């Protein structure tokens, strides 16, 4: 029997696929990089791969197993404060529109499945549910193939996927894919929102925030930040104004992160206060419904702050 040797150039062709899957399965840059590094030694010496059409399933199976164990280890470690996914730059990529109805198509396109809101929704899933849903609903794998990658029976795989989809129902009801129209709307609201914040104009800032808004700060204990979620328009506005005042004058630049416009903040800083951070928002009916502030240095390794 002639075996296909998975050479370095072949592995390179699947590098983006493996990393994209691992990032969605784990939500962090460091974990996605770790999955990719561990997957390559396995891919370089497959036990029996007859031709290139078998390479992707083989690598998918290895990446899924590594991602599952990586996610389980992360879940076992205590985390200080709110957890947010690590932001990544996505350029001008946008979702094509409404989620597909056809079962043959992935439920979530590559842009939506990398969005902050989607990755946060995945946090409510058990590790096995998360990996399976990512494979099936974000990357279009057949449930029996995804189940086999996790060493599950087809029946168990179907039950696990159904459970994961039930847990995603609230996300499905509340969020729309990041189309170009949504991106434009978020950009407009974000600029107005941050303009009032820089001016310390609290009444105007409150008018940009929904009454049931929620703010999450991820500093991983590295910097001063609320220990949990902050709820309510007035509370969120006052907290953000206090954060801006304590940080000193803040300069912002704007970039597309995780499929939506976000702000890269730079302040002079002071001990225990972040000098570089990312602020992203969710918007509904022209108002800010969620504020995501990523301050933890390890979460910002993929972001270029050089233009600030």
What residue ranges of the chain have pLDDT lower than 50?
1-6
DSSP 110: T
pLDDT at 4: 43
pLDDT at 3: 38
Q: How far is CA 99 from CA 105, 108, 113, 289, in A?
A: 9, 6, 11, 22
Q: Which of 175, 174, 146 is nearest to 159 (CA)?
A: 146
pLDDT at 8: 54
Give 119: exposed, middle or buried? Use CB within 10 Å, 0-12, 13-18, 19+.
buried
Token pair of 101, please?
């109805």
pLDDT digits (tens, 9 = 90+) for 250-306: 899 999 999 999 999 998 867 888 999 999 999 999 999 999 999 999 999 999 887
Token pair 């002071």 is at which residue?
270
Rounded to two decimals, what is the model's pTM?
A: 0.91
pLDDT at 239: 94
* Domains (range + CATH), the chain: 1-77 (no CATH), 105-175 (1.10.10.10), 180-300 (3.10.450.50)
Sign of CA dihedral 255, 261, 266, 271: negative
Token pair of 41, please?
């030694």
Q: Tell how strand 250-257 and strand 260-267 pair up.
A: antiparallel
pLDDT at 56: 75
- The span from the CA of 23 to the CA of 155, in Å, is 27
């Amino acid at each position: 029997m002639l075996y296909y040797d998975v050479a370095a150039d072949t592995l390179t062709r699947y590098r983006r696929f493996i990393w994209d899957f691992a990032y969605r399965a784990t939500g962090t840059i460091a974990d996605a990089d770790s999955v990719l590094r561990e997957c390559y030694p396995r891919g370089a010496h497959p036990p029996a791969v007859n031709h290139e059409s078998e390479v992707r399933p083989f690598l998918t199976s290895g990446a899924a197993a590594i991602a599952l164990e990586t996610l389980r280890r992360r879940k076992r470690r205590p985390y200080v404060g709110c957890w947010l996914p690590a932001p990544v730059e996505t350029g001008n990529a946008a979702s094509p529109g409404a989620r597909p109805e056809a079962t043959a198509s992935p439920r979530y396109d590559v842009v939506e499945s990398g969005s902050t809101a989607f990755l946060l929704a995945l946090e409510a899933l058990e590790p096995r549910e998360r990996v399976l849903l990512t494979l099936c609903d974000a990357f279009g794998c057949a449930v029996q193939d995804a189940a086999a990658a996790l060493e599950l029976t087809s029946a168990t795989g179907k039950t696990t996927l159904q459970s994961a989809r039930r847990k995603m129902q609230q996300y499905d009801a509340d969020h729309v894919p990041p189309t170009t129209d949504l991106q434009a709307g978020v950009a407009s609201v974000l600029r107005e929102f941050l303009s009032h914040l820089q001016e310390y104009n609290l009444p105007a800032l409150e008018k940009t925030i929904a009454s049931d808004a929620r703010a999450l700060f991820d500093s991983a204990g590295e910097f001063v930040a609320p220990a949990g979620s902050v709820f309510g328009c007035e509370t969120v506005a006052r907290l953000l104004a206090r954060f801006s005042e304590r940080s000193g004058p803040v300069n912002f630049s704007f970039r597309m992160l995780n499929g939506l416009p976000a702000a890269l903040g730079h302040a002079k800083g002071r001990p225990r206060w972040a000098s570089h951070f990312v602020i992203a928002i969710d918007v509904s009916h022209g108002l800010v419904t969620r504020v995501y502030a990523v301050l933890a240095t390890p979460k910002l390794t993929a972001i270029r702050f050089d233009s600030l």
